[in-house]
Amino acid sequence: MKYWLLLLWPLATLQAYAQPEQMPLDDITSRRLQAEERQLPYPPVREADILWEQRVWRTIDTREKINLPFRYPEAPLVSILLEAIEAGELRAFSPASESFAVLMEAEELQQLLYREDTIPVYDFDLGREVYQVVQDDFDPASVVRYRLKEQWYFDSRSSSLQVRILGIAPIVEDRDEQGHVRFEQPLFWVYFPEARQILHRMPMPQDGTYHSPMSWADLFEMRKFASHVIKVSNIQDARLEALYTGRELLLKAEQAEENLFNREIGHWQH
């Protein structure tokens, strides 16, 4: 019997090595609660309950300290959105319209993300330089700002000021050969109510220790980001920078922010 065990031992060892190796868990337990939990839908809003409303556009600068999670190297927000778009879970809308009326074609998005360039390459067989077309991969770090489109309204049913984020767009800068910024433009628009469930599954990076993890959806709905107003709905459909400059532009942006929060107090006083 002992000899049989000696003969079977190498076979059992080989079978164990032949089985797929299980990779170690980089945690103390598997995290499935956040991925399996469903995001609650928005409560319905009756048109008759809206006493006041205003469209607001704002910019999030990821270089500010509170906004550093947007630039998390392992999973920046733009990479999360792009992966969902490429997987067919999320739709990308053209930046030509902010009303989510024009869908972006896959080829159009690829041209924006992966640009082709021509560089000289020395061909040793020919003994001279030849030009070769190369494709530049998209760098998530090139997105330094995000643009939000919001709807602020006073709900008479709850007697409170509410806000709904309608859309979010990553912003990239177009630079000349000297590296100077010529203009900035959105890569694409994402309809935020469609992205809520996807963002709810993705944990938001946090510094230090924390008791309960937060998702990207929590960050937006709890307003844990810094931003400044660049436009409010007006009859000219113009941004603040088109109407004001310098110090007056900063004051008007702050005033627009204060008007939003004073709106609720004004309704209560009246």
Written in H, E and C, the secondary structure of 118-140 is: EEEEEECCCCEEEEEEEEECCCH
Provide the number of structural domains found in the chain: 1
Does a structural domain hold residue 176? yes
Mean pLDDT of 252-266: 81
Does a structural domain hold residue 29? no
Rounded Cα distance between 90 and 10, Å, is 52
Rounded Cα distance between 16 and 8, Å, is 12
Cβ-in-10-Å burial (0-12, 13-18, 19+) of 70 comes to buried
167 lies in which domain range? Answer: 50-269
pLDDT at 7: 47
Does a structural domain hold residue 3? no
Tally the residues of the chain: 270
Mean pLDDT of 21-34: 72
Residue 30 structure tokens: 């598997």
| CA atoms within a 13 Å half-sphere pointing along the CA-CB vector of 105 | 3
Per-residue model confidence as pLDDT tens digits over 75-130: 899 999 999 998 999 999 999 888 999 999 888 888 777 766 666 777 777 777 77
